[in-house]
């Protein structure tokens, strides 16, 4: 079923969808569209909208702007999901899109698998899949399995099944695989590591990981866009993560060495005396190096500044060279004609960004 066009269905078309029998239609809201007022036969609440909202209410789907039905149990939910899957598959068969013909080889060509390769390539091109997806081992195994087994009549999972039942099944399986790692926390303990970064959409994200004797394990990531990130906010996040993994298993928390993180660590230590806060060693060394190289600290430690300020000078010169070339199309074109490697505009991080940029400049020194 094409969920993007559900609001344009006529009233007659909506009435043929499988889950309408579980609600009562009251009256039509708009002329020519598919929006109606309906009452759920289970929770007896009234809503307005198209069939997509009926489906979201009964199947408890998020992000549709409608409350999930609290009266639909697992048995009814599974029955409704099966009806919806069957209906979606039949609708998809009826609305099979017209496919563009594939390129053909010359009659004398002996290129085996040419049609299959063209069909796979068309899948990449028509959906905008990145080419490196072809290296995905699960993709390769899927193609091999399909080619080496008799799958006559097999139909791939639907859009809704991929994002509901199959996703839930996969998550449960991964949780089961991770159980062996989490079991070691009871014997050896774990450390919670937290760090913040900004993604491509400029959202300030805060990550939490659990490190133990076995392997590190990602816990979750928090979007702090609308939050005031003071010591109480950070401490509350840390305490929630500690509660999720079990405070009795946590040995320490590791964050950067900012004053806010240090204060948040003190709050955690006050609540759980057996947990201690540790600053990140790399971050601490980076801050120390910044202090040594910054001119404003030269009066406090003139000897160290005189010995180490050349680092800041090299960094400034490297940045100037990169900007001088990349900010002008003609200069950049000349550089690219001589160098197979590109100049890197490395995002500003707590550490290592200048090292990465200097390393690339050294690699292209002859080309420059």
Q: What is the pLDDT of residues 137-149, one digit of tens each?
A: 999 999 999 889 9
pLDDT level of residue 1 (50, 70, 90 thresholds): very low
Residues 6+ apart with CB under 8 A from 166: 157
Percentages helix, strand, coil for the chain (3-state, rounded to 5) are 55, 15, 35
Domain span at residue 20 reads: 3-94
**The domain boundary residue, chosen from 94, 127, 158:** 94
Q: Minimum mean pLDDT among 72-76, 123-127, 197-201, 298-302: which range?
A: 298-302
Domain count, the chain: 3
DSSP 249: G
Residues 349 and 270 in one domain: no
Same-domain pairing of 72 and 13? yes
Residue 158 lies in a domain: no
Backbone angle region of 51, left / alpha / beta, with phi > 0 → left and psi within -120 to 50 → alpha: alpha
Instruction: For residues 208 and 267, state if they share a domain.
Output: yes
In a domain, 264, yes or no: yes
Distance of CA 284 to the CA centre of its chain: 29
Greatest Cα pair distance, the chain, in angstroms, is: 85
The answer on 225 and 275 residing in a single domain is yes
- Residues 146-179 pLDDT 10s: 889 988 888 889 888 899 999 999 999 999 999 9
Bridge-based pairing state of the strands 46-49 and 36-40: antiparallel
Q: Which has the minimum average pLDDT: 6-15, 209-218, 267-276?
A: 6-15
Q: Is 313 exposed, middle or buried (0-12, 13-18, 19+ CB in 10 A)?
A: exposed
Q: Does residue 339 contact residue 367 with C-beta atoms inside 8 Å?
A: yes
Does residue 124 fall inside a structural domain?
no
Same domain, yes or no: 188 and 272: yes
Weakest-pLDDT range from 104-108, 222-226, 294-298: 294-298
What 3-state class would DSSP assign to 130? coil
- Domain end among 235, 264, 279: 279
Choosing from 76, 94, 112, the residue where a domain stops is 94
Q: Please check whether residue 145 lies inside any domain of the structure.
A: no
**Residue 150 in domain:** no
Do 318 and 265 fall within a single domain? no
What is the per-residue pLDDT for 6?
43
162 within domain boundaries? no
CATH code of the domain containing 245: 3.30.420.40
Shared-domain flag, residues 326 and 274: no
Average pLDDT over residues 109-114: 63
Q: Tell me how far apart the alpha carbons of residues 58 and 114 are, in angstroms, rounded to a whole number.
A: 46
- Does one domain contain both 81 and 37? yes
Is residue 31 over pLDDT 70? no
User: Is 105 a member of any domain?
Assistant: no
Give the residue-averaged pLDDT of 214-223.
90
Domain assignment present for 153: no
């Amino acid at each position: 079923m094409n969920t993007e066009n559900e609001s344009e269905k006529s009233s007659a078309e909506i009435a043929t969808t499988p889950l309408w029998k579980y609600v009562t239609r009251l009256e039509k809201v708009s002329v020519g569209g598919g929006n109606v007022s309906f009452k759920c036969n289970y929770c007896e609440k009234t809503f307005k909208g198209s069939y997509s909202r009926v489906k979201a209410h009964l199947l408890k789907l998020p992000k549709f702007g409608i409350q999930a039905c609290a009266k639909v149990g697992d048995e009814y939910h599974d029955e409704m999901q099966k009806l919806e899957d069957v209906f979606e598959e039949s609708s998809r068969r009826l609305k099979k899109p017209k496919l563009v013909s594939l390129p053909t080889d010359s009659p004398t060509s002996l290129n085996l698998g040419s049609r299959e390769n063209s069909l796979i390539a068309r899948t990449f091109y028509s959906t905008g899949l990145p080419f490196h997806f072809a290296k995905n081992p699960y993709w390769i195994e899927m193609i091999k399995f399909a080619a080496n087994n008799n799958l006559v009549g097999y139909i791939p999972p639907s859009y809704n099944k991929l994002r509901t039942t199959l996703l839930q099944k996969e998550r449960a399986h991964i949780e089961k695989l991770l159980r062996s790692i989490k079991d070691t926390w009871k014997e050896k303990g774990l450390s919670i590591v937290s760090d913040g970064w900004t993604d491509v959409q400029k959202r300030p994200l805060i990550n939490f990981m659990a490190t133990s004797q076995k392997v590190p394990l990602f816990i979750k990531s928090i979007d702090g866009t609308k939050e005031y990130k003071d010591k109480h906010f950070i401490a509350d996040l840390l305490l929630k993560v500690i509660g999720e993994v079990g405070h009795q298993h946590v040995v320490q928390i590791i964050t950067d060495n900012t004053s806010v993180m240090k204060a948040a660590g003190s709050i955690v230590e006050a609540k759980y005396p057996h947990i201690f806060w540790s600053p990140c060693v790399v971050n601490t060394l980076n801050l120390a190096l910044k202090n040594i190289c910054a001119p404003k600290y030269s009066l406090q430690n003139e000897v160290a500044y005189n010995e180490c300020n050349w680092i800041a000078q090299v960094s400034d010169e490297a940045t100037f060279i990169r900007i001088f070339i990349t900010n002008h199309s003609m200069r950049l074109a000349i550089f690219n004609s001589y160098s197979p490697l590109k100049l890197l505009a490395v995002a500003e991080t707590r550490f290592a960004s200048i090292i990465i940029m200097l390393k690339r400049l050294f690699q292209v020194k002859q080309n420059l």
